[in-house]
Every structure is written in structure tokens, then in C-alpha cells.
Amino acid sequence: MCGIVGILGNSSAVPRMMDSLKRLEYRGYDSAGVATVAGGSLDRRRAPGKLSALGDVLASNPLEGNSGIGHTRWATHGEPTINNAHPHMTERVAIVHNGIIENFKALKDELKAAGINFEGDTDTEVVARLMTRYLDDGLPPRAAFQETLGRLEGAFALCVLVAGEDNLMFGAREGSPLVIGLGDGENYLGSDAMALAGLSNQLIYMEEGDWVELTRDQYQIYSAANEPVDRTVSFSQVAATMIDKGNHRHFMQKEIYEQPTVVAQALGRYLDPIGGVVKLPDLSFNLAAVPKITLVACGTSFYAAQVARYWIEQIARVPVDVDIASEFRYRDPVYADGGLAIFISQSGETMDTLSALRHAKAAGQHIASIVNVTGSTMARESDLVMPIHAGPEVGVASTKAFTCQLAVLAAFTIKLASAKGEIDDTQVADYVAELEHAPALMAKILNADQQIETIAQDIAGARDILFVGRGIYYPIAMEGALKLKEISYIHAEGYAAGELKHGPIALIDENVPVIGIAPKGGLSEKTVSNLQEIMARKGKVVLFSDDEVPPADMYAHVAMPTAGDLISPILYALPVQLLAYYAAVEKGTDVDMPRNLAKSVTVE
């Protein structure tokens, strides 16, 4: 996640922005920058690398102005170079951005055709150029910003300065958080309460689709329909050392809702949408020569590995073993010469997984790790490290780390299939485009969660709940059951739908809800047939599907967006997370710190 701060102040903005960016550096440290408007003119300073590099630039070349915007970046589109660092600026606007502009390529082509040149490779620069075009066409700033927002697709938070306007700032939220801070003759914008700690304790958490026009003395928030709206002012006691829940009740809820942004930013590290290719870190071995892949993980990460097995075998046609880390060494696995063993762990310190890594390494396997902490032990002991870039995950029950793991594994699968010659360049580009579409679809799912909350409240009193799916959705069923067990303490199991009649269907009666995961096509008809067998035995069935005509007599049908098998598992992770979350809230359990569990298991 990138970090954003904006200040409309009465004293020099840069020192205060730098203080805020220090608190936000955990959100990204590929590059950083600040911009101000002073004497009617915009100016900026940027530097690749950590925030200290920007501090050095400012020490030698100070920046004046009481109104400014700042940014610390996790690169998505474009390498972490000075030209790709934020703020992006023209003679008329300066912009910082968190998230992804999904349709940036089409907009960029349109602007290039109109004779507009670009300096860098980022999606954010398109926003700056587009708004400048509307200003050049004679629109006043508010209308130009409004027209720009109407053209953008994706998940993003924006903060904008306009040349000649020392007392004006715009902000917008679509799938990425943005907070307004109120001061005494000053107003602010930030990614979260952490950004504004020390500046303001009166915060307004913008809602989905909101945009705001700020001056020092007032603000006006508009809805996605461009209607003026009022939002609640909250009092914050966030200290600079705290990670804040924002306006969410729990960290887990906050992290569920961060997923469109963090998945977009994870994908941005591995995908080149303009070139239609996948980028991996430098490899010390020949990917095309790998004869077999072993995936090893624990808990939620194990289910990510199981999803990846379907992808890798179906798309790249490479055989895959998947193992629970705690069992791996003890079955004395047979390795293939030149094989690749991939170990998945949010912390990179999970002892079972680390021990398995060392076992495979001693056997001469190439070692890759998929981790959220790049300085972790697993990362240091690997030949290839694929960070998931999910940002800090506080909730013990993993949510955003899981979907970011899936995103990275999907990108890896495409790269492997291409290296193996199983897919051509056109197919690679198609898969890249499909993955790029995932964050926007995730945002749509999260914007329609009220039905899931109602269902969760109804089933929270159940003693047992079953989750079922087929094929690539079977691991998602198991992950849904795990989430429910972890935080609501309801006994839940995930089954392959075809296995129900081989024993588990004996559990079914009117008191056992069954959650079915069955996207249209493929094996969906078989899954639905299995669900009808459950309904015939009075089971209460909830179906997550994009099928517009679900079976009759079903307790509930939650409509999902239609998508391909490469991104659907990522999408279907969200409703099962929400179901577990709202069931736990209904039961009154400790959502963020469920009993007997820890975030990182460092004993075997």
C-alpha cells in the first residue's frame, strides 16, 4: 500500500509531511516525494528508495509552501525510478495516488493520440494528464476533477493540488481508504489516521465513491452520484506508534476491505500490462527446466498452495505435490532432480515451513518462498523470493495475505507456463489482462456485503456448518471453513462436493447450513446437483455463484461477478471471509485475537 498525506496549512508543509510519511513508510518505500503550491506555482521533490533519500534531496534543495501533498510508494505500474515516483505533476496539477487505475492504458492511448506526452510508466500520470486536459479545455478545477473521476476505473485514493490555488485540495476514494483531518484554520487528507497523527484528531472516514473539495476553513464531501453528503466526524486517539483500525470495528474487517488495493499493488509488482508479460525477480536457475514443483505451507497458506496446484497443472502442465509443512519431512518425500520447492508463509518465520524448506534445500531442490516479510528467515534462505506486498496484517485470521498469495501464485503460473512453452505471448497477455481486472471485481463484491451479513447473522447459531466446492473451488471451501472455525468457534468442514455422498451427507438435517461455491461453467452443474441432494434432506443451502437462475428452494443465493478460473478463486475468497467475520461479530467472539491462536507460529 502506498502512503498519502495532504496539508492545507498556515506554516511550511514539508516538515510536517515528512513526519507523516515516516509513520507511513511501512506502507511502501520504493520511492517518495512531496509537492507544494506557493506563489501560484507547483513544485516538487522526489527520490527513489527510502524516505531518507527524499530527506537528502530536500536538505540540498528545499521546497517552500504551506499547502502540499506527499507520498511514499509501493510500486505497481512502473519501476521505482524518479520519473515514476509520486507526486505526478503537470504545469497545472500535482497528484498522489494509492491503488490502481485499471483502464489507464486506454486513457493513455487516448491522450497520446491527442498529442500529450508522458514522462514515466505509471497509471497515476494518466490521471494528472487527463485532469490537465480538462483544465486546458476551460473547466474550473472542481468540474475538471469531477470529469476526471468519471473516466477512471479501478481501486484508488487520490489527493490533488491545482496551480494558482493555494487554498484548495481535492481527494477521492474508490476501493482505497482516504481520511479527512480537520484542524484550526487548517485541513488535511491522509491514507489513514496514522498519516494524520499529530496533525488532527478530528477525522472523517470517506465512504466508497466519495470525493471531497477542501480549503483551510471548510470542506464539502460529494457522493459517487456527485451529490453533497455529510459524513460523521470521529475523534481519534491514534499515536504515531499505533496501527489504526480506521472506521472499522476490527482489524480483520479493515484488512478484508483493503484487499482490492493490496491485491492490485501485489499484481503491480509482477505484471506489465502494457507489454502483456509477467515479471519475476532474477532467477538463479532455469525455470523452463524444472520437472516438478513441490508446494509446502500451513493453514490458510496451504489452501493457497492447493489452488495453485490446479493452476500450475492445468495451465503450465507441470506436476505438483502439495504438502502440509508439519507433515512434509516425516513422510520422507521423493524429490525430482532439479525440482523447485515453493514455501508459502505470511511471516516467513513459520517453524514447520522453515524446517521443511531446509529439508528440501539439503536435498538439492531449488528453493522459492512466497512471504509478506522480505527480511524473514525463509526469504534469506531462498533462491527466489516472491513477496506478496500485503502490508501489515494484524488480524490473526489471514485475509489479505491469502488473496495476495493467490495473486502472486497466479502470476508465477503464467510465467512458468510461458517458460515451458505451454502458452504463447497472446495467451500470456490475455491472462495478464484477466488478473488486472481482479481488484475492480473485488471492490464490487465488498460494496455489496449486506446480504452476506444478514445470512451470517442467521447461521451464527448453528453448531455445524459445511462448505462444499469442486475443482479449484474445493480449497476455497476448506479456507471458508477454516475462517469460520478460527473466529466464530463454530465447527465447520470443507468438502469436495462429490464426496458428500461418500459419508458426510449423513450429517445433513435442517440444522446444518451448507455453503456451496459453484461459479457457472466447468463443474458447476455437478456441484449444484450435489447441493440439491442436500436440499432433499432438508439442508439449508447458501450458494455463492454467478448463475443467474439458481435452483429453487435454496435458502439464499449470493450473486457473484462472472470471471475466469484464474481470478475466480481470489474473488470467492472474499464472501467466505465476510461470512465468517459477520458470524463471529454476531456471536461476540474476539475477532482479531481468537482464542488459542497466534499470528505467527514459531515453534514446531
Which of 50, 444, 526, 599 is an active site residue? 599
In the annotation, is 501 catalytic? Answer: no
Do the Cβ atoms of 447 and 499 come closer than 8 Å? no
Nearest to 240 by CA among 273, 281, 193: 193
Residues 6+ apart with CB under 8 A from 1: 27, 28, 74, 98, 176, 191, 258, 261, 262, 265, 391
Q: What contacts 219, CB < 8 A, 6 or more positions away?
A: 180, 182, 187, 204, 212, 213
For the chain, the residue count is 604
22 is catalytic: no
In this structure, are residues 530 and 498 in contact, taking their beta carbons and an 8 Å threshold?
A: yes
Q: How far is CA 275 from the centre of its chain?
A: 22
Catalytic residue selected from 2, 159, 298, 404: 2
Contact 408, 382 (CB under 8 A): no
Helix axis angle for 299-311 and 474-488, nearest 10°, is: 170
Name which of 120, 192, 112, 123 is nearest 152 in CA terms.
123
The Cα 547–Cα 471 span in angstroms is 17
Cell of 261: 488495493
Q: How far is CA 561 from CA 349, 452, 523, 569, 578, in A?
A: 36, 15, 17, 12, 16
User: Which are the contacts of 332, defined by CB distance < 8 A and separation ≥ 6?
Assistant: none
Helix-, strand-, coil-residue percentages of the chain, each rounded to 5: 40, 25, 40
Checking DSSP bridges between strand 540-545 and strand 513-517, what pairing results, if any? Answer: parallel
Catalytic residue numbers?
2, 599
